[in-house]
Amino acid sequence: MTHSAIASKRIAIIGAGPGGLTLALLLQRHGFNPVVYEREVQDTNRDRGGSLDIHEESGQLALKEAGLFEKFQELARYEGEDFRLFDKHKNVYMDEEAVEDDHGTRPEIDRGDLCQLLLDSLDKGCIRYGHKLQQAIALDHGMTELHFENGVVDTVDLLVGADGAFSRVRPLLSDLQPEYSGLTMVELNVLDVKNNHPDLLELNSRGKMFALGDRKGILGQLNGDGRIKVYASFEVEREWLDTCGIDFDQPTEAKNKLLELFSDWDDDLKNYIRYADGAIQPRRIYMLPVGYRWKHNPGVTLIGDSAHVMSPFAGVGVNLAMLDAYTLALAIARHQDSGSAIEEYEREMYRYSSDMAQESYDNLVLCFSDDAAAKMATLMKQLHDQTQHDV
């Protein structure tokens, strides 16, 4: 139980993604009583993205603090650390296989399972679904007034934006908006690969597959529910989705047009697109500038993508959101006033997140450069040698 003066204050978290849920749970564990406002009418984390590798030094740290690490281990897929890297002709540049029973440091879990784990431990009443924040207004005495699309208004002492890339909390702290990263990813799903397409499972292995070339990529990722989530990825201008002439609401036609864009790629790699089932979801990838900071406000802060959205090429977005939640929750529990807690959290968060944002940006540039597969293999080997040397 906390003796902090913050305990008597009203704390609101905007967004029930992995960052907001982790923060709410850790604050509850320390005796606080936060309210979480989420725009969706129910939990939709299962529908938003696939398998995530949870790192020892960040996501796992938060799960241990929440007392959920053992349950996480029961759900985690350690074999999901397999990784294959090809060029567009299916020449192999890397083929890493996770060793059975050798519990690695970055096991995989589906986003839905991870969020369900957090939800199951949360005091249910704390989440208000169907509350989309429209505007947050700073009041004279340091509190913040929250206006929701459904007409609800709330006034809070401490406000945490965990509402993703296009945060409605961020305008209280800075005028900056995320910029298009130059990358557009088209998400497809090949369902039940084990039974429907064993040849693709054989090619993909039990984890991730990257095929890179011509400033494009086909990325595959085996999920816990038996599907391979596929990202056909393109370095293109922001308007490309409007000008490419592909109607993504017509999956069969869209797949044929996507296949034309990979016409001179190896035929087996093209099966990632050819075999895809159901809806297709195109996404522009946005990022905040590396080293992004805002003017400190003692009653408002940001965690996760709202604080440092970056391309997925460092594979750390969820991990950072959970590490932010961990760092902020512990700072709130340690300090008597929210200003000092936020200051300590932001100092620490700026340090680790800017390193990751730089790595993510460098990897993005590398993955969509000439001879990307060869360059990526060299980089991964250097990192591997470095780790061995450090040990």
Residues in the site for ligand FAD, rule: CB under 6 A?
A: 14-20, 37-40, 49, 52, 132-133, 162-164, 168, 185, 231, 283, 304-305, 312, 315-319, 321
Nearer Cβ to ligand FAD, position 35 or 321?
A: 321
Cβ atoms of 377 and 93 closer than 8 Å: yes
Tell me the C-alpha distance between 275 and 278, whole Å: 10
Smallest gap, in angstroms, from Cβ of residue 118 to ligand FAD? Answer: 11
Smallest gap, in angstroms, from Cβ of residue 267 to ligand FAD? Answer: 25
Smallest gap, in angstroms, from Cβ of residue 89 to ligand FAD? Answer: 25
Nearer Cβ to ligand FAD, position 29 or 283?
A: 283
Smallest gap, in angstroms, from Cβ of residue 361 to ligand FAD? Answer: 14
Which string of DSSP letters, residue by residue, matches 299-319? Answer: TEEE-THHHH---GGGS-HHH
Those residues whose C-beta lies under 8 Å from the C-beta of residue 207, and which sit 6 or more positions away, are 79, 80, 81, 82, 83, 84, 98, 108, 221, 222
Nearer Cβ to ligand FAD, position 4 or 303?
A: 303
Environment class of residue 47 by beta-carbon count within 10 Å: exposed (0-12), middle (13-18) or buried (19+)?
Answer: exposed
Nearer Cβ to ligand FAD, position 20 or 34?
A: 20
Nearer Cβ to ligand FAD, position 221 or 297?
A: 221
Tell me the C-alpha distance between 375 and 391, whole Å: 25
Tell me the C-alpha distance between 119 and 127, whole Å: 10
Those residues whose C-beta lies under 8 Å from the C-beta of residue 341, and which sit 6 or more positions away, are 6, 328, 331, 332, 334, 335
* E strand intervals along 316-371: none
Nearer Cβ to ligand FAD, position 53 or 87?
A: 53
Nearer Cβ to ligand FAD, position 156 or 266?
A: 156
Smallest gap, in angstroms, from Cβ of residue 38 to ligand FAD? Answer: 5
Those residues whose C-beta lies under 8 Å from the C-beta of residue 117, and which sit 6 or more positions away, are 63, 68, 71, 72, 75
Cβ atoms of 290 and 358 closer than 8 Å: yes
Nearer Cβ to ligand FAD, position 35 or 266?
A: 35
Smallest gap, in angstroms, from Cβ of residue 161 to ligand FAD? Answer: 9
Nearer Cβ to ligand FAD, position 223 or 271?
A: 223
User: What is residue 170's DSSP assignment?
Assistant: G
Smallest gap, in angstroms, from Cβ of residue 191 to ligand FAD? Answer: 18
Which residues in 321-352 are b (16+ Cβ under 10 Å) and which e?
Answer: bbbbbbbbbbbbbebeebbebbbbbbebbbeb
Smallest gap, in angstroms, from Cβ of residue 68 to ligand FAD? Answer: 16
Tell me the C-alpha distance between 210 and 214, whole Å: 13
Nearer Cβ to ligand FAD, position 82 or 266?
A: 82
Smallest gap, in angstroms, from Cβ of residue 114 to ligand FAD? Answer: 10
Tell me the C-alpha distance between 79 and 312, whole Å: 21
**Cα 332 to chain centroid, rounded:** 24
Cβ atoms of 86 and 95 closer than 8 Å: no
